[in-house]
């Protein structure tokens, strides 16, 4: 699940096709920041028990690395850290580091999903994807790990089981608050297959007493169709759809 951001603005595409990933130390919180973070997090959990304080990665910075590359510095933390975004005096908060998947139908339209009421941004339309998690043990966080994570998010949120090796790196997005999203493209599938897998996934989740992360899907191929999606949109959605639309017409 991509965490909501209190400071999101418009996103941009970085035209990146090569990443280097570097772990760095987490910023030290002041006692006041920690108390405020804990208080806000506990209030969020009381309001929505679906929130959990599991391990997650955040982005400590991104800098150019050659003509088509970028180096991303990342930090291990837990989801509680995102509450710092609601602390006005905090200087220690860090933005998200996430993956998203462009899943086309055979006719070229892209699958977008609406986040359910159980998530951090209910009703928001976005691509399938989610915040990155730390690698197990001493395993490195490398591109193979990002491919695996993207494939896992795709099946968990849409029911579409695509092997990591069938994904291709498409681009990198950055929001004005510094959040970094690594974008992958999946192979095209028939619309009927996409809808069948999505319907089966949501039905299975509800049969087990769980709310799916995405509770509805749509297919779009131009920015002109985005206003038809009632509700808020992820800030990166419009520039991605615009670039995708342009690349199809090239």
* pLDDT (tens digit per residue) in 65-99: 998 999 999 999 999 999 999 999 999 999 999 99
- CATH number of this structure's domain 11-249: 3.90.79.10
pLDDT tens, residue by residue, 25-56: 999 999 999 999 999 999 999 999 989 999 99
pLDDT at 250: 57
Enter the pTM of the model.
0.93
Low-confidence ranges of the chain (pLDDT < 50): 1-8
What is the number of alpha carbons within 13 Å of residue 163 lying toward its C-beta? Answer: 2
Exposed / middle / buried, residue 101 (Cβ in 10 Å: 0-12, 13-18, 19+):
buried
Per-residue model confidence (pLDDT) at position 78 = 96
pLDDT of the residue at 178? 87
pLDDT for residue 249: 66
**pLDDT cut 70: percent of the chain above it:** 96
Closest CA to 130 of 61, 179, 72: 179
What average pLDDT does the structure give for the chain? 93
pLDDT computed for residue 2 by the predictor:
38
Check: CB of residue 180 under 8 Å from CB of residue 172: yes
Tell me which residue of 72, 82, 213, 83 sits closest to 146, measured CA to CA: 72
Q: What are the angstrom distances between the C-alpha of 133 and each of 83, 99, 140, 153, 229?
A: 17, 10, 12, 11, 30
């Amino acid at each position: 699940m991509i965490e909501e951001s209190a400071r999101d603005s418009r996103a941009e595409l970085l035209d990146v096709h090569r990443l280097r990933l570097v772990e760095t130390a987490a910023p030290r919180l002041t006692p006041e920041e920690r108390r405020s973070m804990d208080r806000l997090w506990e209030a969020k959990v009381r309001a929505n028990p679906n929130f959990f304080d599991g391990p997650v990665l955040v982005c400590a910075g991104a800098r150019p690395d050659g003509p088509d590359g970028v180096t991303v510095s990342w930090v291990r933390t837990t989801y509680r850290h995102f509450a710092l975004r609601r602390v006005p005096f905090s200087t220690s908060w860090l933005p998200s580091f996430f993956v998203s998947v462009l899943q086309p139908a055979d006719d070229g339209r892209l699958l977008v999903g609406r986040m359910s009421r159980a998530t951090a941004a209910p009703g928001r339309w976005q691509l399938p994807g989610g915040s990155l998690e730390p690698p197990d043990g001493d395993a490195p966080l490398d591109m193979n790990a990002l491919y695996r994570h993207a494939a896992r998010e795709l099946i968990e949120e849409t029911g579409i089981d695509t092997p990591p090796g069938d994904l291709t790196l498409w681009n990198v997005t950055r929001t004005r608050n510094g959040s970094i999203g690594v974008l992958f493209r999946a192979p095209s599938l028939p619309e009927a297959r996409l809808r069948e897998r999505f319907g089966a996934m949501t039905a299975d989740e509800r049969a087990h007493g769980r709310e799916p992360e995405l509770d509805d899907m749509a297919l779009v191929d131009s920015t002109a169709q985005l206003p038809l999606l009632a509700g808020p949109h992820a800030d990166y959605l419009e520039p991605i759809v615009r670039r995708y639309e342009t690349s199809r017409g090239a």
